[in-house]
Amino acid sequence: MSSRRIFLKAGLATSASIAAPHLAAQTGERVVIIGGGFGGATAARYLRRFNPALQVSLVEPAGEFVMCPMSNRVIHGGLQLRDISRPYSRFVANNGLRWVRSRADNIDLSAREVRVGTERIPYDRLIISPGVDYVYDGIEGMSTSAQQARVPHAWKAGEQTQQLRNMLQAMPEEGVVAMTIPKVPYRCPPGPYERASLIAHYLQASKPKAKLLVFDANPEIQAKKGLFEAVWKSRYGERIQYVPNADLKGVDTQAGILEFELQGKVKAHVINVIPPQRAGAIARNSGLANVGNRWCGVDFLSYESAVTRGVYVLGDSIAGSPGMPKSGHMANQQAKVCAGAIAAQSLGMAVPTEPIIANTCYSFVSQSEVIHVAGVYRYDASKKIMVPAPGAGGMSEQPSTMEAIYAMAWATNIMNDTLD
């Protein structure tokens, strides 16, 4: 069956097109979305919801979405990968999408086409939500994929998440785990510190003679600092050794030796290198990474690229406003603003000018205790950026099991909201 026929078949099956036949009958704009994560999938769903006449194609090679939030719990052993995964098939059918199950090779901005293998997919508007790419250029001994695979980043949930779990389990009883954290900005500011907490909890319970070394390229903990420091001190003591200003120079992945600019050489049994990051390759290769050749500048009313009209960038690849984290929750929120801007124009309205979005981020600090940070962001029309709403947002007062229950509810509900 041709892809076109799949699209038509899926389109007929949606309740949206049945409920609004007058719109479905019109020829809608063609929106192509590259990437089915929190940004791309949410955009697809809300575009069809806001205007069912839009023809939406999703270019995504994976058969299922594996969410990064909660993936540190898989490394810890409290969840399994399947608990944080959801196939795209039902989502695609529910929302009347055309699913191009391949990797997008490149974009022809002048012809307004996405190239996927031999196929050219024309678009009226293009949304790119590729996540981050990992940069090993500055780390000696890590240029080959075999070297990279020996010290998995596990910073995109999936196989490497399980691999890191397996490595911890196979480690000697008195083993040393080393993780490295890149300079900001990187995906999920509190993520490394949540991971450190959960690895320490695993070691405490299963390998009490082992320890964890956390090498942070930043001068201090980058999110929920006081809360992480307190729980590390009270719960994990000497089991976590935190080293700030640790610039990773190189890794001998076979001998298990890390080398740092200031701290010299360190040997470890399990090494987790979270490398520096930049916008996904397809965004950079298309010339959209105009901020430091690393991140994509956007208009915060629509997430339209600062470089090219009709092309939108979502999620971790964008240059966020100051204080706007790279998180799955933010990508979900940005996607709705973007979908709203595109749908509004397709319905003959102007782009809405008063976006209000929020971030909610939970971190596990042990098997059963959680802390959060929350923020509300509003558009500042004079500076043309999103700014934290005065007086809003904040953190937990202390870790709690109550928030662990809310954290899991959050994970389920954002998965539903993204991939319903």
Between residue 85 and residue 114, which ones bind other proteins under the rule CB under 8 A? 85-86
Cα separation, 390 vs 378, in Å, equals 9
How far lies 388's CA from each of 207, 323, 385, in Å?
Answer: 42, 7, 10
Looking at residues 29 to 88 of the shown chain, list those that interact with other proteins (rule: CB under 8 A). Answer: 46, 49-52, 67, 70, 73, 78-80, 82-86
CA distance linking residue 14 with residue 397, whole number of Å: 45
* Tokens linked to 333: 């929120």
Among 20, 62, 184, 307, binds other proteins (CB under 8 A): 20
Q: Is 299 in the site for other proteins (CB under 8 A)?
A: no
CA of 217: how far to CAs of 231, 293, 342, in Å?
A: 21, 21, 39
**CB 409 → other proteins: shortest distance, Å?**
4
Binding letters toward other proteins, positions 223-242, x by CB under 8 A: --------------------
Residue 13 binds other proteins (CB under 8 A): no
The span from the CA of 99 to the CA of 90, in Å, is: 11
- The least distance separating other proteins from the CB of residue 138, rounded to whole angstroms, comes to 35
Give the separation between CA 187 and CA 290, rounded to whole angstroms. Answer: 19
Interaction between residue 416 and other proteins (CB under 8 A): yes
Binding other proteins (rule: CB under 8 A), the pick from 310, 368, 381, 383 is 368
d(CA 380, CA 389): 10
> Binding other proteins by CB under 8 A: which of 110, 146, 350, 382?
350
Q: Could you tell me the smallest distance in angstroms from the CB atom of residue 366 to other proteins?
A: 10
Residue from 129, 272, 333, 363 in contact with other proteins (CB under 8 A): 333
Q: What does the alpha-carbon distance between residue 46 and residue 49 come to, in Å, rounded to a whole number? A: 5
CB of 116: closest distance to other proteins in angstroms?
29
List helix spans (H) across 171-302: 191-206, 225-231, 281-285
- The residue within the footprint of other proteins, chosen from 12, 149, 170, 402 (CB under 8 A), is 402
Residue 334 C-beta: closest distance to other proteins, Å? 10
Candidate list 66, 279, 396, 399; residue touching other proteins; CB under 8 A: 396
Cβ distance to other proteins smaller for residue 206 or 416: 416
Q: How far apart, in whole angstroms, are the C-alpha atoms of residue 116 and residue 298?
A: 25
Of 135 and 402, nearer to other proteins (C-beta) is 402
Query: How far does Cα 166 stand from its chain's mean position?
Result: 23
